Structure 1
Amino acid sequence: MQTPAAQTTLARLVVAGLAGDTGKTLISAAWLTAAAGTAARNLDTFLMPASAILAALARAAGRADIAVVEGNRGLFDGMDAEGSHSTAQLARLTGTPVVLVVNAAKVTRTVAAQILGCQVMDPKLNLAAVIINRVASRRHEAVIREAIQQTTDVPVLGAVPAQETLELPSRHLGLVPVAEHPRSEEILERAADLVAENVDLDALLALAGEAPGIEAPPAVPASTSSGTKARIGVARDVAFSFYYPENLEELERAGAELVFVSPLADTALPDVDALYLGGGFPEVHAARLAGNRGFREALGRRIAAGLPVWAECGGLMYLARELVVGGVAHPMVGAIPVSVEQTGRPQGHGYVAARVDTPNPFLGDGSAVRGHEFHYSRITRGADTVPTALAINRGVGIGGGRDGIQVAKTLACYTHIHAAGVPEWAPAMVRAASGGQR
């Protein structure tokens, strides 16, 4: 249904495509969530099976006027020369029409060559339209439009002028998170106005209407176990914000009550039965995390007493003995006997494939695990002596072909997992929180 609200939301979502994806889906997803006013979902053909992707898209589309899927990197860029797990592969799987956003800065006819190349690369792909981005003038736009018309049959839905004042700031992992940007809503509104003025949103909505329907499978009922729910703490503040919403939902579906905690602001750990420490930017907030001694020490005592903890990337860094940033060592929780250093270059970036080879509370021994990593930190002391549970077949992890530091009932990985790709994880975490065994 082409409502004004749908057009407004669509304009805000198109902004993400114009800004360009950072390659860090958990950060860009937060910007998409702010733009749409509803949780952005991850659709990744490496992390999750096709059935889970189709189910997630069907459920999201069924509750909305339009479902917009933001591509990651270039259209055909994947994990190998064949473009495995690329945006194009996802578009073919879901039958989604592709609207190509092309950067026109300092080029003219080359834009047409790029579009033609995408058509020739995969004739079966529904390359339905193009939006020209960062045009310098109306004359610049006119030349590009004419070149596209002469060379291809792909319609142009609009041309957006370059706007340096709307550039989103970045740092080492990509965009600055939306929660930390003081003018995020203003920027989204101004950029959306720019899109609405220069892109045919009616045509874009009509294209979405041509996408084939996807039937959602029956929803899996939530746990109906009687008694008190397991209370699982989730660290969530500006230092820890990298969570797939599906992971939190699956924990609740498995019978958990989520209790959000802040290692930055809370003076003590609440009464929880387990803790989920996600990724984020502990390196940016290292001094404040170190200064909250009460929380650090309380968490350390609970871990030593057997509190089940699942930690990913930034969570691993926080559980270390110390985090060194810019040559300054900040004391952390000390639950795992390693030292971590923040470096100036990526230490692990991309998909991870691993196999569990050690019994642990969260993942079955011998099971395959897929995930992704993106970290500038590395373990400088202790990596070769700590017990680990994951053998890395693809990726870096903590180094030496290993990941998943295991101490007591804590498992700390550089790898981020998605619950749809590791369906055993959420029920196992709830069992661990409830005192059960695998």
Structure 2
Amino acid sequence: MLNKSIPRIVVSGLRGGSGKTVLSLSLVALLREKGFRITPFKKGPDYIDAGWLAKASGLPCYNLDLFMMSPEQTVESFVSHSYNSQIAIIEGNRGLYDGVDHEGTYSTAELAKLLNAPVVLLIDCTKATNTIAALVLGCQKMDPGVSIQGVVLNRIATDRQESLIKKAITERCNLPVLGAIPRLKKDPFPERYMGLTPFQEHKDTEDSIAFAAEIGAKYLDMDGILRVAENAGTLKTAISAQPSAVSNGQRTTDNKPRIGVIRDSAFQFYYQENFEELEKRGARLIEVSPLKESKLPEIDALYIGGGFPETHAIALAENKRFRDSLYEAVQNRLPVYAECGGLMYLGKSLILEGRTYPMVGALPIIFGLERKPQAHGYTIVEVENTNPYFPPKSVFRGHEFHYSRVLEIEGNGVSMAFNVRRGKGIVDNKDGMCYKNVLAAYTHLHAVGSPEWADGLVRCAERYKEGTEAQRHKGTE
């Protein structure tokens, strides 16, 4: 049993959209300026906020999710990834006690308790004074096991409002106010239909991060916040917690299967842990972009994550050479695993505002885009049909979030690997469309909670590599 003391805080709020990401980015950016080595974490199945946190810290951001990961896996991931850090910043999601049910199961509060991490509570103070103390007091009383150690006020309008709220919280809640951020005249992190605009598509990324650091320097009590983090205490874990070769940047690539990853501004929804789990199993990852390249490189498997193919539909459709090379690779049984946006890209076409954009055409599906989410939440899928990646009867926990929907689908030559116990899937509570060595699903899986995913993809890549090498050898005889 290892007792590890890692300075850490959880940034939480009363609801989504209260400013948690801006506060987290302010902390991360300012601490980086001061020379700290920070490991950022994002609670929940979130790619966009995690991307911003990684950009601000200069290091990968990791996701912690008690639905998709067991408590033991969560603690192990946290300790192993923050082992050599000076501080860990964990951004919560939704409100502090919000979970999948009225008891707050899988909430930020439950994660904070599991990690023995103090909470800094961010409160939107719009048009309120003394009532803010009542809200904080309610959070304290809701679960005394949650260690709320400070409050940051947000969207403060006047000095008088700030003074009243500070006095109320100090006297009623016996907590320090660790900052007061005014109502900002400009929004450095604009939102669109799936949350913040991803940093990959943001025009002024560096300026926005610099602005977040400026917010921290002007309005936050950084010494007080650091004291809270340093007093987090020890965290018990049964692992050795030595960083992996992947996190140290030591990658063995000789004679290893090459797994392509389509990664650019169109396809950006990936968990860092998924990459690391593939590399731990011996894979070499090769980044590929259908926005920039004319064909697939020589690879042994392909991983296409989610993203925004709809905002890049013109460019994806116009790159016919790349689409054709991927289609041909699929016909030649290249293993391809795709999620959400990757599923859409593998389909026949994407229809937006009455205009049709051809996609790869490997799967017999036509997609459209709606103004409201077509699925949003956690999923549970059971493997019910033979497929290249997972054994039958396996059960996985993931999530789905998309505005696209199936307009037309043909069932000839394809099958569905997953029966959806929770969630929606592609059609009729089925997900994971299979064709040859392709499996494409709306469900996103996290490799720490579902290690079978990395096992299956690397195994398929190794088999494909062996087959192509055997063909080459036969051709030289």
The question of a shared fold, defined as TM-score above 0.5 by the shorter chain, is answered with yes
Is 1:155 the equivalent of 2:155?
A: no
Structure 1: which 5+ residue stretches go unaligned?
A: 16-20
Task: Kindly provide the CA deviation profile for residues 363-414 of structure 1, in whole angstroms up to 9, marking residues without a partner as x.
Answer: 2211111111110001111177751001111111113111101111100010
Is 1:188 the equivalent of 2:209?
A: yes
More strand by share: 2
Equivalent position to 1:419, from 447, 457, 477: 447
Q: Structure 1's 22 and 183: CA in aligned 2 closer, same or farther, altered over 3 A?
A: farther
Q: Which residue pairs with 2:426 in the alignment?
A: 398
SS state of the match for residue 110, structure 2? helix
Whether the 8 Å CA contact 1:11–1:193 is kept in 2: the answer is no
Task: Kindly provide the CA deviation profile for residues 79-126 of structure 1, in whole angstroms up to 9, marking residues without a partner as x.
Answer: 111111110010010000010000111221221111011011111111
Q: Structure 1's 75 and 375: CA in aligned 2 closer, same or farther, altered over 3 A?
A: same
Q: Structure 1's 115 and 9: CA in aligned 2 closer, same or farther, altered over 3 A?
A: closer
Q: Which residue pairs with 2:375 in the alignment?
A: 348
Q: Structure 1's 341 and 226: CA in aligned 2 closer, same or farther, altered over 3 A?
A: closer
CA distance in 2, matches of 1:163, 1:128: 25
Is 1:213 the equivalent of 2:230?
A: no
Q: Which residue pairs with 2:279 in the alignment?
A: 252
CA distance in 2, matches of 1:81, 1:349: 18
Q: Which residue pairs with 1:368 in the alignment?
A: 395
CA distance in 1, matches of 2:159, 2:420: 52
Whether the 8 Å CA contact 1:109–1:143 is kept in 2: the answer is yes
Equivalent position to 1:295, from 312, 317, 322: 322
Whether the 8 Å CA contact 2:30–2:214 is kept in 1: the answer is no
Whether the 8 Å CA contact 1:11–1:196 is kept in 2: the answer is no
CA distance in 2, matches of 1:22, 1:348: 20
SS state of the match for residue 397, structure 2? strand
Structure 2: which 5+ residue stretches go unaligned?
A: 1-5, 8-23, 33-41, 467-477
CA distance in 1, matches of 2:293, 2:57: 30
CA distance in 2, matches of 1:221, 1:142: 50
Q: Which residue pairs with 1:12 in the alignment?
A: 29
Alpha-carbon RMSD: 2.5
Question: How far did 1:213 drift?
Answer: 2.4
Partner AA of 2:431 in structure 1 = D
SS state of the match for residue 164, structure 1? coil
Equivalent position to 1:27, from 48, 69, 89: 48
Farther off after superposition, 26-35 or 101-110? 101-110
Whether the 8 Å CA contact 1:235–1:261 is kept in 2: the answer is yes
Whether the 8 Å CA contact 2:258–2:283 is kept in 1: the answer is yes
Farther off after superposition, 142-151 or 91-100? 142-151
Q: Structure 1's 41 and 224: CA in aligned 2 closer, same or farther, altered over 3 A?
A: closer
Q: Structure 1's 22 and 288: CA in aligned 2 closer, same or farther, altered over 3 A?
A: farther
Partner AA of 1:217 in structure 2 = S
CA distance in 2, matches of 1:252, 1:136: 49
| TM-score between both structures, scaled by the size of structure 1 | 0.92
Partner AA of 1:125 in structure 2 = V
Farther off after superposition, 326-335 or 145-154? 145-154
Question: How far did 1:50 drift?
Answer: 1.4
Q: Which residue pairs with 2:349 in the alignment?
A: 322
Q: Which residue pairs with 1:407 in the alignment?
A: 435
Q: Structure 1's 59 and 112: CA in aligned 2 closer, same or farther, altered over 3 A?
A: same
Q: Structure 1's 123 and 254: CA in aligned 2 closer, same or farther, altered over 3 A?
A: same
Q: Structure 1's 185 and 210: CA in aligned 2 closer, same or farther, altered over 3 A?
A: same
CA distance in 2, matches of 1:106, 1:333: 52
Partner AA of 2:417 in structure 1 = A
Partner AA of 2:335 in structure 1 = P
CA distance in 2, matches of 1:290, 1:225: 36
SS state of the match for residue 401, structure 2? strand
Partner AA of 1:180 in structure 2 = E
Q: Structure 1's 66 and 218: CA in aligned 2 closer, same or farther, altered over 3 A?
A: closer
CA distance in 1, matches of 2:253, 2:46: 37
Task: Kindly provide the CA deviation profile for residues 249-302 of structure 1, in whole angstroms up to 9, marking residues without a partner as x.
Answer: 111111111111001111011111110000010000011100000000110111
Task: Kindly provide the CA deviation profile for residues 205-253 of structure 1, in whole angstroms up to 9, marking residues without a partner as x.
Answer: 1111111223453557789999611111100111001110110111111
CA distance in 1, matches of 2:82, 2:189: 28
CA distance in 2, matches of 1:140, 1:226: 59
Partner AA of 2:73 in structure 1 = A
Task: Kindly provide the CA deviation profile for residues 26-51 of structure 1, in whole angstroms up to 9, marking residues without a partner as x.
Answer: 00000101111111110111111112
CA distance in 1, matches of 2:408, 2:291: 25
Q: Which residue pairs with 1:269 in the alignment?
A: 296
Q: What are the within-5 Å matches in structure 2 for residues 139-150 of structure 1?
A: 139-150=160-171
Equivalent position to 1:103, from 124, 128, 131: 124
Whether the 8 Å CA contact 1:23–1:174 is kept in 2: the answer is no
Partner AA of 2:122 in structure 1 = V
Farther off after superposition, 68-77 or 192-201? 192-201
Query: Percent sequence identity over matched residues?
Result: 43
Q: Paired residues, what number?
A: 428
CA distance in 1, matches of 2:380, 2:31: 32
Farther off after superposition, 263-272 or 212-221? 212-221
Q: Structure 1's 384 and 133: CA in aligned 2 closer, same or farther, altered over 3 A?
A: farther
CA distance in 1, matches of 2:160, 2:319: 58
Is 1:166 the equivalent of 2:187?
A: yes
Question: How far did 1:24 drift?
Answer: 6.2
CA distance in 1, matches of 2:215, 2:251: 49
CA distance in 1, matches of 2:275, 2:28: 29
CA distance in 2, matches of 1:393, 1:334: 28
Q: Which residue pairs with 2:71 in the alignment?
A: 50
CA distance in 1, matches of 2:282, 2:44: 33
Q: Structure 1's 380 and 49: CA in aligned 2 closer, same or farther, altered over 3 A?
A: same
Whether the 8 Å CA contact 1:22–1:175 is kept in 2: the answer is no
Is 1:74 the equivalent of 2:101?
A: no
Partner AA of 2:203 in structure 1 = P
Question: How far did 1:149 drift?
Answer: 2.6
CA distance in 2, matches of 1:203, 1:319: 51
Q: Which residue pairs with 1:306 in the alignment?
A: 333
Task: Kindly provide the CA deviation profile for residues 166-191 of structure 1, in whole angstroms up to 9, marking residues without a partner as x.
Answer: 34111111111112112121122122
After the TM superposition, list the runs of 4 or more consecutive aligned residues in structure 1 that deviate by more than 6 angstroms.
21-24, 220-227
Partner AA of 1:45 in structure 2 = L
